[in-house]
Amino acid sequence: MKKLLILFVLFFSVAATAQFSVRLIVTDVATRKNDDIYVSGNFNSWNPKDENYKLKPFGGTRKSIVIKDLAAGTYAFKFTRGGFDKVETTGDGRDISDRVLDVNADVSQEFTVAGWKDEYPEVPKRYTASPQVRIIDTAFRMPQLERSRRIWIYLPKGYATASKTYPVLYMHDGQNLFNEQTAPFGEWGVDECLDTLQQKLGKECIVIGIDNGGTKRMNEYNPYDHAEYGKGEGKLYTEFIVKTLKPFIDNKYRTLKSPENTFIAGSSMGGLISFYAILQYPDVFGAAGVFSPSFWVSDQVFADAEKFTTTAMPRFYLYAGKMEPTNMVPNNEKMASILQKKQRYAIRLVSDPLGKHNEKTWRQEFVDFYKWLMSY
């Protein structure tokens, strides 16, 4: 019996660490048949022109790639011609959902590409911001960084006729929050979401959207110097929010100013800087929405979390999707385990089996985040 038990454990240990080969074959391409084709997915951090993932001729006009040593799991991918401006589409140029493959054995699958994104003219985007959204300033001064930035505000529907005060949620990548016209990869729909949710929950909130700095985004949202991206300006950026922007908002609008009513949220690098903001200013921010955070930028963020102490009770909403780069969920779990050792902290850890690194996913998750945010 003991031998059987050992064999049973060994069998499942081997199964859990099994590696498989996946052959992807493109049998037909509608146009640009002679161009190089790459596969981009959560197995290679969605790199659209990874030379290690370029398809090779496979008899006739077909092209294929064999991806070796894949662990069992679910993988998302698309075919490109070297960039997401040249990613595959439907035959009439519409975006397609990620292709999904469940791997639990060696597998070979065939595909056809109906069209490429760069062969279809861009359709003008609609203005979708609700009447509750306005632009405070197109060039709000950031003295800490010697720059200026567009700032958006969402006010609850009853703000103009009420006299009460409101909590405030500060969010990064402001151009992606409210308006399809300014969102290069799709908007979060924060305004439409809150118009509906606030009626159902009876809990309203002001939202401040801060545009990212374009080429400066990687620096402003990064608290740490980086060999590739350069000097980290995250400390100065968070200082701008706390010492310049928040005082302006608190003076101009009817806000609840305490940390229990002041929140911060963002995705990817915006998730990293939202997390860092609480570490730096726990007396200002009481909760953070940390969506798909770029904790990979520096291990220092984990060391900073280990050292972090406060007499407040900060709350962290840590979200990651399993269709994102493979380090996203493990990094979130690692951070959650660090925070859970600190008895006063409230943590919501979400590992979404179908979550992807895009605005569509974060838009869907924002609903649960807001419910969680307002449940305290």
CB-based contact 291:349 (threshold 8 Å)? no
The domain in which residue 179 lies consists of 133-373
CB-based contact 328:292 (threshold 8 Å)? yes
- Does pLDDT of 3 surpass 70? no
- Identify whether residues 237 and 365 lie together within a single domain: yes
Give the integer Cα–Cα distance in Å for 328 and 291.
Answer: 10
Q: How many CA atoms lie within 13 A of 316 on its CB side?
A: 31
- Identify whether residues 71 and 193 lie together within a single domain: no
The domain spanning residue 349 has which CATH number?
3.40.50.1820
pTM of the shown model: 0.81
- Average per-residue pLDDT in the chain? 92
CB-based contact 65:23 (threshold 8 Å)? yes
Give the integer Cα–Cα distance in Å for 295 and 301.
Answer: 7
Q: Is residue 9 part of a domain?
A: no
- Identify whether residues 182 and 96 lie together within a single domain: no
- Does pLDDT of 16 surpass 80? no
- Identify whether residues 191 and 226 lie together within a single domain: yes
Angle between helices 300-307 and 328-339 in degrees, nearest 10? 20
Give the integer Cα–Cα distance in Å for 286 and 49.
Answer: 41
Give the integer Cα–Cα distance in Å for 264 and 241.
Answer: 10
Total domain count, the chain: 2
- Identify whether residues 101 and 155 lie together within a single domain: no
Q: Is residue 29 part of a domain?
A: yes
The fraction of the chain above a pLDDT of 70, given in percent, is 95
- Identify whether residues 157 and 66 lie together within a single domain: no
- Identify whether residues 96 and 174 lie together within a single domain: no
- Does pLDDT of 251 surpass 80? yes
End-to-end Cα distance, the chain: 52
CB-based contact 300:276 (threshold 8 Å)? no
Domain boundary among 62, 84, 119: 119
- Identify whether residues 35 and 168 lie together within a single domain: no
Angle between helices 300-307 and 269-280 in degrees, nearest 10? 30
- Identify whether residues 101 and 150 lie together within a single domain: no
Q: Which residues of 189-198 are buried (b: 16+ CB within 10 A; e: fewer)?
A: bbbbbbbebb
pLDDT band at 61 (very low <50, low <70, confident <90, very high): confident
Weakest-pLDDT range from 45-49, 167-171, 296-300 = 45-49
The domain spanning residue 108 has which CATH number?
2.60.40.10
Burial class (CB in 10 A: 0-12, 13-18, 19+), 284: buried
Q: Is residue 314 part of a domain?
A: yes
Domain boundary among 70, 95, 119: 119
Q: Is residue 1 part of a domain?
A: no
DSSP-assigned beta bridge partners for residue 135: 152
Tokens of 248: 């302006």
The 10s digit of each residue's pLDDT in 332-363 is 999 999 999 987 899 999 999 999 999 999 99
Q: Which amino acid appears at position 286 of this protein? A: G
CB atoms within 10 A of CB 10: 10
- Identify whether residues 187 and 298 lie together within a single domain: yes
The fraction of the chain above a pLDDT of 90, given in percent, is 79
Weakest-pLDDT range from 118-132, 178-192, 268-282 = 118-132
- Identify whether residues 198 and 289 lie together within a single domain: yes
- Identify whether residues 223 and 306 lie together within a single domain: yes
Q: Is residue 322 part of a domain?
A: yes
Tokens of 347: 């943590």
The 10s digit of each residue's pLDDT in 209-233 is 999 999 999 999 999 999 988 999 9
Domain boundary among 64, 85, 119: 119
- Identify each DSSP E strand in the chain by its residue range: 19-29, 38-41, 56-57, 63-71, 73-80, 88-89, 99-103, 107-113, 115-116, 133-142, 147-154, 168-171, 206-210, 262-267, 287-291, 315-321, 346-352
Secondary structure (DSSP) of 150-176: EEEEE--TTGGG----B-EEEES-GGG
Please give the biggest Cα pair distance in the chain.
Answer: 76
Q: Is residue 128 part of a domain?
A: no
Q: Is residue 110 part of a domain?
A: yes
Decide: helix, strand or coil at residue 356.
Answer: coil
Give the integer Cα–Cα distance in Å for 225 and 4.
Answer: 54
Q: Is residue 7 part of a domain?
A: no
Q: How many CA atoms lie within 13 A of 345 on its CB side?
A: 24
